[in-house]
Amino acid sequence: MVPKKILFCTDFSDNSRPAWGLAVDYAKAFDAQLLVLHVIDHKNLPGYVDWAERLREMLGDIERAAQERLQSMVKGCGLAAKDLKVYCRRGMTSKEIVSLAQEESVDLIVVGSHGWTGMKDLVVGSVARSVLKTAHRPVLVVDASSGQGEASKGL
């Protein structure tokens, strides 16, 4: 299977950079469209949850900043604009990744193995593990420490 549509998921951490590089390289090598996704996960926000209005303002600010970072990321990757789509969603990270993958009929999902969760999930990471279990399509998990990927198929 040669992927024609690749979904790269980022939390903007340094740990996601090796996965980003691989996703761009794969998109170029396979002449595939690259979709770039960042999910604003409410559980990762500070304790403003009880302040509904402040939370809405915060989420708007975070989403605008995320959109700017996504645009900055894709600007220098060397792919034509027609080959790129950028998404910023709110919700549970793994569910939003799988949902977008289904909506866009992607052929390959590329995620890093470590990010915001840090030491909690040393081997694969909670988001990557959840995507592997629920995506029902090929997932490439890239080890942030080595920059090497390990291909797996969602169960």
Domain boundaries, the chain: 5-153
User: What is the fold, at CATH topology level, of the domain defined by 5-153?
Assistant: Rossmann fold (3.40.50)
Run of H or E residues at 134: helix 126-134
Q: In which residue are the tokens 């304790």 written?
A: 47
Q: CA quadruple 17, 21, 24, 27: dihedral positive or negative?
A: negative
pTM given for the model: 0.77
Percent above pLDDT 70 for the chain: 75
Q: What is the overall mean pLDDT for the chain?
A: 81
Lowest mean pLDDT among 5-14, 31-40, 112-121: 112-121
In whole angstroms, what is the distance from residue 54 CA to residue 112 CA?
A: 31
Q: What is the pLDDT of residues 39-98, one digit of tens each?
A: 988 666 555 455 666 777 777 888 888 888 888 888 878 777 678 999 999 889 999 999
